[in-house]
Structure 1
């Protein structure tokens, strides 16, 4: 009962075979009719069994190929025999067409028969290997579930891949935008630094040129700056009415309002006071005014530092030191510098002094000319 029931169960494979079988039977009937009309005048009554045998065997071989399933070794013989019968059945009407070519005595069935036979055999050759073996409903269900599982996994993988591709494309666009923004920011920062550096460089060159051409006198560095903790406001002492007696003694009032008497200050005493003020100028103060790091004995000095040391040594005593005296003091203090560099900076110092004296002399001459006018 189970076998009978299994044969009666409709399956997609059975439906395909049924359709192909119906088409094959129809083509076989058409082939029998056409072949009988062609062979009957020559073979007479023997045309019936001949045509029936050819078409019946053609159908049988085709059915046997179906029953062989995927076993190619079993199906090979019936395949060869089926191809041979296909050639014979299609060759009978084809040969008749060749013999009656140009006479107009053949009909449409004779033309369609070889085409239908070859097309039917080709249809079996295309469809039969794809049908596979007949299986039970349970096996078909298992296979269908597996195919569905595989299809679901493939669809899921394709969807995940699509999502990942979309995320990567979006990430690529965002990374590109961020990179463009960072590049623009860095470019603007570099432009700002470039502008600032150029401006500072121009100002530094102007400052260095001014410091070189217009050296500050030592008296400027001697001015003490007030400190917050020790500074107290004060006023300059005003000279009081002075009376001079016969001995040349002058009387007056000092900064605290006390009456003082003494000899009149001479020009030599004023020069001595100026020299003492000049001697109070330190090397650190000269370096601070010039704008260079404080020179340190024993270390290699730059040209600006070397000039600061020579200027400080020259004006540390009154009268100013000569070149030999300054070089001797330079070596005794432990400063480092070659004879060539020292001589070069000393020449630059003397040149600046000459320019300063010439400028002061021209100003004095101009004032005298203005007074004379």
Structure 2
């Protein structure tokens, strides 16, 4: 999890998780050596019930270390089952890649089937998966809907289960130099995204700054942060899965720093006036800004940044703009931050953070 150094800054922190050293094993104490002249006692008679009890009380053999961790294939099957749409089946046959089949309902459109399964595949866009699905199932041109019980093969299933967020991150490049472009949410959900990644790789660029929340307050992916959901900031999210969008960038060797506009937020400022900058007359100052000194506004930004890092982002890019704000009430002494000077000019500030 990234440590956010400044709410009004772009934070980029390099870090590598080191493996914790294993505790040295201490051999058990050996029993004292028996005297050479000691006479061993005669063996006690053993009844069948005693022998059976001794066997039952013996500690079980430790399982092989390799059996404790699921194989990559088993992990993939488990992941597919956990994310399988209704009607889907995993096909796990020996000497063949793991596959998926959809048992269709009468009149079910192939395009909608492709949309339901696209996140289980190596194909980024639903339209492209729809084309491949038609080829894989040898569907004639005019046929758009499936018959009841028709088994539709889903092509291009991912070869392995997604990694954890920490495993997914690419970390700093060897030369510690980041070169990249800014990508908004709309293009990131279109064919243009793959073109950007391809061209970035060709030109030796290794970073995109991807919009997670813009200054208008819209969140570009289906966030689960409570305020984002309640305020409706996610209802027009163009990106279906932030984690998947990040994984596709990583395939091209391109890192992702998510951009979060901190306190300029028209949606949340309207939805939660108590989080807005307060005017001298005791009401929200209607400029579309959250109060940077308000703990609720601070926590919202922090939760979005944490969510992005949990999705596998390599860093977070948090920005804030200064704007004219005369007539606002200064923060109280109980606020987290110190008194904030009023701004008389426009400007931007940002800082960088990478894991």
Structure with the bigger percentage of strand: 2
Higher RCO (CA 8 Å, separation ≥ 6 residues): 2
TM-score range normalised by the length of the shorter chain: under 0.3
| TM-score, with length taken from structure 1 | 0.18
Q: Which has the larger radius of gyration?
A: 1
Structure with the bigger percentage of helix: 1
| TM-score, with length taken from structure 2 | 0.19
